[in-house]
Structures are given as C-alpha cells and as structure tokens.
Chain A
Amino acid sequence: MNENMIELKDVWFSYAGDDEGQKLPPVIKGVTLDIKKGEFLAILGHNGSGKSTLTRLCNAMSVPDKGKVFVEGMDTADETLEYEIRSKVGVVMQNPDNQIVATIVEEDVAFGPENLGVAPQEIRARVDDALKRVGMYEYRGHEPHKLSGGQKQRVAIAGVVAMRTDCIILDEPTAMLDPIGRQEVMHTILELNQKLGITVVLITHYMNEAVLADRVAVMDNGSIILTGTPQEVFQKDDILRSVGLDTTQSAKLAAKLAAKGIRLPGSALTPADFIAAFKNYSGDHQ
C-alpha cells in the first residue's frame, strides 16, 4: 500500500516557446516532494514562483521534461493512464467564472461524474451529497452566474467532490473573493480534508490560510526552498521575506513584543494561539 498520494521526483519543466522546438527557461527546477494521503499541504509562493505549473504536473495536464510524477503510483507520462489520474486528482482554479460550464448549479456539479461515465442514478446521489458537503444544496436549482464568488467556488469544489477524487488541488481559490467568501471556502476545504479524508493541496499566497495546513512547502523560482509544519516554516520569517512572502499579523505582533523583551511561550501564528500565549505570559508575570 502506497502511503503517498502524489510523488514528484526531481521534476524539471519548461514551457514551449513560440518557435518550433524552442523551450523557454525552466519554471520547475528539480522539485522533489511527497504528498501524503489524507494530508493538507499548503504550497506558498509569490506570483511566478512556479506554483500553478506544479498543479498542472500533478494531474497530467503537463508532463515533466525530466524526472517523474506519480499519482497513486501511476506515472503521469503514461498517456494511457491520463483518465485514471484525473479521476484521482481534481483541480479548482482561481477564477470561479472560468470553470462554471452549465446554466444550473446541479448540472454544473454533474458535469465531472458524467464525463467519467458514472451511471445516472449514482450521479444524482453524488451531486446531492456533494452540494450538501459544501453547503450549497439549497442553491441546486439556481443559475451559477447569479451566485457570489465564494458560492461559485464552492460549486466548483462540489464538482470535484462529486467526481470522488482522492485528492483536490486548489490553485489560489480565494484570491478573487471577499473576506466572507474566503472564510466560506476555507471552511469547506477543512471539512473535506477532516471529514472525508480527502488529500488537499492548497496553493496560496495568504499566510493566514497556510497556517491551517498540516504542512507547508514554500516555492521560489521553480524550487521548493522550505518545507515543514506551519510553526517550523513561519519561524523563518527572514527567508519568507527574502522571497516576497510574509508571515501572519499574529506572528508579527509576537515578534514585535519579543523585540521589546517580551517572549511569549509557544507559537503565535493565529489570533487564537497569540491570545492563549499572551494570557499565559500575563498570568505568570503579574
């Protein structure tokens, strides 16, 4: 039994240029990464760091120039496995308007399983279940273009859930949403990971989303430069800053206090952690 959902082994990739046979400079440079079954991995990186290309490599939309990508042990370079690989790994993109294909919410969710050749009755059951999972069941008869951005993204996620993929990759799914929509989508992602055991890969440049993950990988210039738990990664704020990223406000606040001589116990990456640490400290010092 393979413990890894996706394995990237020394993967190199460059896009083709305008001229025949021309290759542009590589955008992925020797990435090795194991994505474990059931984990919630966040991939952080600034725009142009290669995050989105990595997504394409994980479900056989692109194939490495050098190195290998395996999805549940299947080599993505093997064209005969393409369908099977895509039935294991679903992708949700940044712009909700670019991935809605039908005029009614439930038809949109049914699109994926239909293409997989799932039987009609089974599709009905899957669509209802998926829409309930993302909290959009009551909107099943609505027109997608009249929904809010957060609602559209949840419909897109339901489409992947209905395909029963083992893994969902979300490429900056909240970048175009308002704060409420962002919370809705993050809540949905956590539910899928924790309740259904779906492997989640979240590509983001929001630090307060990355801290919710089990593990964080930081990309810069086509390479993975840091991996670890959010606590481990966000301690290295100098490295994060050097690649155009940041840490959370809570962590910055803890760092400012530390600079004034007040060192809070434990990590303070989220507001809840900070408050707990602050209370601890103030209880001990008064």
Chain B
Amino acid sequence: MSLIEVKDLVYYYGMRTPFQVTALDHVNLSLEKGGIKAVIGHTGSGKTTLIQHLNALLQPASGQVLFHGEDVNATKESAYRIRFKIGLCFQYPEYQLFENTVFEDIAFGPKNMGLSEAEIDRAVRAAASYVGISEDFFQKSPFDLSGGQKRRVAVAGVMAMDPDVLILDEPTAGLDPRGREMILSMIRNYRDQTGKTVILVSHSMDDVAETADEVIVVNKGKIAMQGTVDDVFSRSAELSEMGLTVPEVTGIIDTLRAQGYDLPAGIYTVDRAADALYRYLTGGRTL
C-alpha cells in the first residue's frame, strides 16, 4: 500500500457558478514513503490545489485521497487528525508568525496536539535543530529576525508537530542565494535525519535539480509526468511547452544537442554538464 494514494480526484473553482473552472481533472497519483518529492508546474497548473487536498484543507468534488489506505475526508475527525500527520507549510510562512517568542511560535502546533510540557519542549528543540535555529533565539521576538531566519522558524513550527509527511509550498521563494541554500540543505538534513517524506512544491527547477529524489509534474490540472529527476529533466522540450524553465545548464546542453553535438540528454547539474562537455572535447582522453 502506498503512503498517499490520490484516486480520480476532481476539484472545481467556483463550483456551480458561471465561473466554474476545472482545477484538478481526474488526478491519479501514488506516493511511496520517504525521500523528497518535488511537485512542479507553472502558476495556475493546479499544484497548490493538489497539495491542499492531501491534508483535507480542500474537499474534492469527486474522488479520494487515501493516507495509509484511509480516506482523509471520511469524517470530520479524520480530516482534523490528518493535519497533524501531513504538515503543510504555506508560501511565505513567515507572514504567519504571531507569538511573542520564537519558542512559543514553534510550540504552537505541539500545544494544539495536547502534548505535555516536557514533550512540547522536546519537540521544539528537535525542530529548531533541524532548521539550524540555536537556543539563543528561543526568547527573541520572531519579528526581530531576518527574512531567512523567520522562514526557518515558521518551517520549524510545522516540523515540531512531528508529521509523517512535511509539505513545503515554495520554500525558497524570494530568498537570496545564501538564504535559499540554507533552506535547501535544511530540507535535505531533515530527510536524512528523520527518514520522513517531504513534498516540495516549487517552480524553481534549480531547487528541484539540487534536492528532489522524485519529481511530479502538474499541468492543466493533470499529472503530466512522474519519475526520477533524470527521467523528467531528459524531457526538457515538453517541460518548456508547459511553461517550465529548465536549469540554465540543461538549456545549454539541449541547445548543443539540437545543433548536432553528441551529448547525453537529462543533464541538470553544473558538474555533470562539465563532465559531459569535457568528455565530448577530449573524446574520453585526458588532454
């Protein structure tokens, strides 16, 4: 049994109004436990709508979302419970910080779960360590932190609920290169240390290339592709048609390929591109 099973899911915006639009069009998707899964698609593709169904924030017009085989919308109680199991961190989560101290903000989720003081303390410390926020920050106001730090505190707030699945919607949006690199390495650490499943929603193909174990491409309310990073990035022409831009090096290699250079497809990191070009120029020999 898959960890998450999406079955024939249909969702409309403005249902039963003259402005009804199909947001999700009979989506089927299986997600296995573990690893970082990237959900990509351009604005309006339905990717955010899809992930909001995974923890029952939206109820489908038809179809089902199964978590460990159980329908997340079976009862009100199951929909409530699922939100602690599948933690969702929205875009620009730093706008949702509101407590007086960093500690209290991270503790908000665990408190709502009814944990004891000792358990809350343990959960907050663990989450803070995943995101690299040291104890020196615990008594500070979250509003005195830098943008990148605020975002890490907000993500820690979701991690502190110890969910089975952590969903992050555009976690690097608007960050500078240093902030972005910090968030991405923090996500990789979290995966490695906890073995949990992470779902990363992104339109940054560079982020996906650097972090994902599996890629799901959403286009026009349907799943257009699902596979390894290699599989998906080797279809760069199709990705471009869907309004997704491939990493700069992928574009370079593909342009050269189209002009008759004998280079492998599916290259998406600078290192691999350098190796491939080097091999091409030297014919396997060393210069």
A binding-site residues for B, Cβ under 8 Å = 46-48, 94, 148-149, 172, 175-176, 178-181, 183, 205, 208, 244-246, 248-250, 252-253, 256-257, 260-262, 271, 274-275, 278, 281-282, 285
Contacts and interface: CB of A to CB of B under 8 A. Distances in A.
Given A253-B249, A262-B281, A271-B252, A46 B176 contact: yes
B144 to A, nearest CB: 12
Contacts of A181: 43
A178 B203 contact: yes
A245 B177 contact: yes
Contact of B278 (A176, A208, A257): A257
A180 B270 contact: no
Contact of A47 (B175, B249, B256, B270): B175
Contacts of B281: 262, 281-282, 285
A246 B174 contact: no
A164 B280 CA distance: 52
9 contacts: A46-B177, A47-B147, A47-B179, A175-B174, A176-B174, A244-B177, A249-B248, A249-B249, A253-B277
Interface in B193-235: 203-206
Contacts of A252: 270
B248 A208 contact: yes
A172 B175 CA distance: 11
Interface of B: 42-44, 146-148, 173-179, 203-206, 243-245, 247-249, 251-252, 255-256, 261, 270-271, 273-274, 277-278, 280-281, 287
A95 to B, nearest CB: 9
Chain B interface helix/strand/loop/mixed: helix
B176 A275 contact: no
Nearest to B252: A271
A246 B256 contact: no
Contacts of A256: 270-271, 273-274
Contacts, number: 93
Nearest to A175: B174
A253 B177 contact: no
A176 to B, nearest CB: 6
A252 B177 CA distance: 14
Given A175-B174, A252-B270, 18 more contacts: A46-B176, A46-B178, A47-B148, A47-B176, A175-B173, A178-B43, A178-B203, A179-B205, A179-B243, A205-B176, A244-B177, A249-B206, A249-B247, A249-B248, A257-B277, A274-B252, A275-B256, A285-B281
Contacts of B287: 260-262
Contacts of A46: 176-179
A179 B244 contact: yes
Contact of B256 (A148, A257, A278): A278
A167 B261 CA distance: 44
